[in-house]
Every structure is written in C-alpha cells, then in structure tokens.
C-alpha cells in the first residue's frame, strides 16, 4: 500500500512521543516493582487514554487508504482496555485454573478478530498464501504445546477445559503475531505503522505467556510487574497512530533481506521447540499424548509446507525455463532482423561487416580475405519499364541464386548491401575470387521469369578487392576497393564500347 501519511504533525512529535511512551512505561514498571498501586493505575490509564486519543485522531486525519486500519484498531484497543478494566474489577474471584469464562474473557476474545480485521487493508485486499497460513498454524502450536505442559504439571487436578482455557489467549496472540509476520514476508514495502503494531502484539504475547505461567503457579496478581508489558503494548498501538500522523520523507518501510529467511525458518524452529519441550518437561500420560499429537501435527504441517515449496520451485523452474527459451528465441529473431535483408533473405550490410571484421581480427597480417562487389546492370530500367514488383522479383531471384552458390562453397558469405548492390566475402586467394566471379556471372545471366509470365535476362558488373593486394587491410578498405574495381570495370567497358554480352532488357 502506497499512502503518504498526512503531515498533521511535524517530525519531532514522533520522537517526543517515543521518548514519553518509553518513560511512562518504564515508570509503571518501576512503580510495580516498589508496590505502589495508586500511581501505577494513574500512569497506566494515561498511556491507554493517549493511545485511544491518537488512534481516534488517526482514524479521521490519515489518508483514506489507511483510515479503515485505524478505525478497526481503535475499536480493538477500546475493547482490550475494557477487558482489562473488567478483569481488574473481578480479579479477586477469577483464577486461570478455573476454566469458567466471564465478561473479561468475552471482551478479550472480541479483541482478536478486531485486530485481524484491522490488518486486512494492509494486505492490499489479497488473502494470505497457503504457505503463510501453514506458518501461522505452526507458530501457534509452538506456543500452545509448552504452555499446556506447564499448566498440566502445575494443576494436574484441573479439568481439560481449564488447561485449554489457559493456553487460549497466548494461542490467539501467536495467531495475530504470525499474521503480522506473514504480512512482513509477503510485502516488500509496508507503511511504517506496521513496526509499532508488531512491537505491540509481541509485548501482548510475552505478557500473556508470563500470565499463564504465573497464574498456574499461583504467583500472579493485577499488580505484578508483568502488567507493564500490556501497558507498553497499548503505548505501541498509540505510536503506530502517531507514526501515521507525523510527516516523513519516506512513508514506507523497506523490508530487510533477513526477514524472509527468518519467517521461512519459523516452522522448523517451532518443531524444534515442541520436541524439546516434550523431551524435557513432559511427564504423565495426558501430557505425553497431547504433546505427541502436537508434534505430529507440526510434522504434518512442515511436510505439507515442504511439498508446497517444492511445487512452487518446480513451477518457478518451468517458468524460468520457458522464459529463457522465449528470450533465446527473441534473441535469435532480433539477430536475424538486424542481420538479414527482408526482401532477399540474404545477410545485410551489418552481417557482411561483422563477418569481415571477424575474419580480419583473427590475424590481420596474414588474413586471406577477398570481397566481390556486384552491381546489376540497368536495374533502373526494370523498375521503370516493368514496375517495382518486377524489380523486387529480380532481386529475390538473384538472392536465391547467390545463397545456392554459398551452400556449395565453403567460407563464402553473400550479402545485399543496398538497392541492386551485392557483396560476396570469402576466404581464399585472389584466384578463388576470379573463379567465384565467373560463377556469379553465369548465375545472374540465367533468365528470370516474372510472376506475369514475362522473361528477363540479367547481367551485372563485378569488382574484386583482396587483402593480398593492399597494405593495412581494413573492412572498409576491402569494401571500398571492391566497389571502385566494379565501377572501374563498368566505366572501362562503356568506354571501349565493346559488347561483352548479348543486350538485355536491362540496357
């Protein structure tokens, strides 16, 4: 989601808010350690009230794309604060081991779907991939199994319902936290508000796990220092709103490269934790059955996840192979277009130059390279008298005949340079060039039948330049030398007025 936060507050407000929140939460923790309930309740209430105020302000001041997040997060936080109040008021009659739900439980359970609902706009309307859902299940089971073992060992006389009630809240916390982590894994850029949200949910997870363990051993009270974690979590929710309200040059967070690797490793860590828990602290048939079942479930999740990874890898490999083949084909097509004359199918001037450059680069001092330059005589008369379609047919047939010659002669490349000008580059002695010139003259002298049935007899002028006949051989020197030799031959022949062949329609 790309939504630039509204510059409702200047940047210093963000830093001031972080410092004040950290100071208040630290003070609450210190007061809890010194057993001073009055100031604790006051400062905790200030943090919660400030968080609710900032969330309400963000719900109406941030860009429209982020408003649903803060509307829903405001509702979730308000429900959580009400649940805390109800719990404190009824704490003397509640115990984690009773398993009897009450009003605080109803409010706490309402908090979780509201938070998950608030996270939906941050996913851009897309559902989480199946891989991410498996990771969430694995992480949740990792939280549930050790806590279940602790509860069974601490309160073996309680019912199964009491044990599962004890692990319900940490399990839901882990579900929300895993969803946020999955969001970090599936998006490369996220609004900066996500970081305080992750911090807040993580603090709630730690606090709830500590609450379960302490309550199982009868050591929890509403004024235990662990409650400072929930105060800090509410402060983090408020900071997420403050982050969206303050101006920033970059409203989004670039995901670090290590985040995907960390999230990918999560389920394997989960299996290790669950197995270690079973090995170290599981005693009794009930505990062993549950932990064994949980470990088997984790193993099944990991196997399914591994198969999904393999299937995705196979799809990616197939797609990459298809893409590589398509690119290779496109490269060939592009090379052909750049090096081929469309009308005749012969190599073009670029291909001719490349071939000459390659041959001369091997050893310019000893390269035995020659060029024959061919110009069709009287070609303009064909275009003027028979039309351009007839001229194109003459060029196509000439190209086919030169290609046929190249198929029989090694190290010979015919090319169309432009108009009715052709070149043949070859390896060999000047004598080979003379022989090739005779073959070319014989080929182009053969009659050409036009599409309308008329027949033309063609001829041309040829000139040769060879690397053995000049010093300092270069590609341009060979081509220009052959061109000059061809025009010199044509000029000399006209000057002598000696007919060298039977007149044709080209004349």
How confident is the model over 340-374, as pLDDT tens digits? 888 888 999 999 998 988 888 876 555 689 999 99
Rounded Cα distance between 7 and 1, Å, is: 18
Could you state, in chain order, the average pLDDT of each consecutive group of 10 residues for the chain (507 residues)? 53 85 88 82 90 91 84 91 81 47 77 83 66 64 62 55 60 73 62 79 80 72 82 90 76 58 60 56 48 54 57 71 80 80 89 89 72 88 83 90 91 91 91 91 88 82 86 83 88 63 36
Calpha distance 234→200 (Å, rounded) = 7
- CB-CB neighbours of 356 under 10 Å: 24
pTM attached to this predicted model: 0.51
d(C-alpha 298, C-alpha 275), whole Å: 10
Terminal C-alpha separation, the chain: 74
Phi-psi region of 243 (alpha: psi -120 to 50; beta: other; left: phi over 0): alpha
CA–CA dist 9, 3 (Å, integer): 16
3-state secondary structure 9-23: ECHHHHHHHHHHHHH
Residue 273 falls in which region: left (phi positive, over 0), alpha (psi -120 to 50) or beta: alpha
- Report pLDDT for 256: 59
- Give the strand pairing for 455-456 and 448-449: antiparallel
Using the 8-state DSSP alphabet, how is residue 256 labeled?
P
Burial of 10 (0-12, 13-18, 19+ CB in 10 A): exposed
3-state secondary structure string across 345-388 = CCECHHHHHHHHHHHHHHCCCCCCEEEEEEEECCHHHHHHHHCH
pLDDT per position as a tens digit, 183-232 = 665 665 666 677 888 888 888 878 877 777 777 667 777 778 888 888 99
pLDDT at position 49:
93
d(CA 194, CA 239): 10
Rounded distance between C-alpha atoms, residue 144 and residue 268, angstroms: 16
């Amino acid at each position: 989601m790309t939504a630039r936060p509204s510059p409702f507050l200047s940047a210093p407000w963000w830093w001031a808010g972080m410092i004040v929140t950290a100071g208040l939460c630290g003070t609450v923790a210190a007061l809890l350690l010194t057993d001073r309930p009055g100031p604790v309740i006051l400062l905790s209430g200030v943090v919660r009230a400030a968080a609710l105020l900032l969330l309400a302000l963000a719900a109406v001041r941030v860009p429209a794309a982020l408003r649903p997040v803060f509307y829903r997060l405001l509702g979730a936080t308000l429900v959580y604060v009400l649940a805390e109040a109800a719990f404190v008021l009824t704490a003397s009659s509640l115990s984690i081991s009773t398993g009897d739900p009450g009003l605080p439980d109803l409010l706490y359970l309402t908090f979780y779907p509201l938070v998950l609902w608030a996270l939906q706009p941050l996913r851009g309307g897309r559902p989480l991939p199946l891989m991410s859902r498996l990771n969430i299940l694995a992480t949740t089971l990792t939280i549930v199994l050790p806590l279940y073992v602790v509860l069974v060992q601490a309160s073996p006389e309680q019912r199964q319902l009491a044990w599962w009630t004890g692990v319900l809240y940490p399990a839901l916390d882990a579900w929300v936290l895993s969803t946020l982590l999955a969001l970090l894994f599936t998006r490369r850029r996220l609004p900066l508000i996500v970081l305080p949200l992750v911090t807040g949910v993580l603090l709630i997870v730690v606090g709830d796990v500590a609450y379960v363990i302490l309550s199982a051993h009868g050591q929890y009270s509403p004024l235990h220092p662990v409650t400072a974690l929930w105060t800090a979590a509410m402060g983090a929710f408020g900071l997420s709103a403050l982050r969206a309200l303050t101006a920033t040059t970059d409203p989004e967070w670039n995901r670090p490269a290590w985040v995907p690797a960390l999230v990918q490793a999560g389920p394997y860590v989960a299996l290790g934790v669950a197995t270690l828990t079973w090995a170290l602290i599981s005693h009794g048939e009930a505990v062993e059955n549950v932990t064994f079942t949980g470990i088997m479930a984790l193993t099944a999740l990991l196997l399914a996840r591994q198969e999904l990874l393999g299937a995705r890898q196979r799809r990616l490999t197939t797609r990459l192979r298809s893409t590589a083949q398509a690119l290779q084909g496109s490269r060939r097509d592009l090379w052909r277009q750049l090096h081929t004359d469309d009308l005749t199918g012969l190599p073009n001037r670029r291909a001719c130059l490349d071939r000459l450059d390659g041959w001369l680069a091997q050893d310019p001092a000893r390269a035995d390279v020659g060029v024959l330059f061919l110009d069709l005589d009287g070609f303009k008369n064909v275009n003027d008298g028979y039309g351009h379609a007839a001229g194109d047919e003459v060029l196509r047939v000439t190209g086919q005949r030169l290609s046929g010659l190249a198929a029989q002669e090694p190290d010979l490349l015919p090319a169309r340079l432009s108009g009715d000008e052709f070149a043949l580059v070859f390896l060999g002695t000047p004598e080979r060039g003379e022989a090739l010139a005779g073959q070319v003259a014989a080929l182009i002298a053969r009659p050409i039948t036009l599409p309308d049935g008329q027949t033309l007899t063609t001829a041309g002028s040829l000139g040769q330049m060879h690397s053995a006949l000049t010093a300092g051989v270069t590609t341009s020197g060979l081509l220009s030398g052959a061109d000059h030799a061809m025009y010199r031959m044509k000029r000399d022949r006209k000057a002598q007025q000696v007919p060298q062949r039977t007149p044709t329609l080209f004349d």
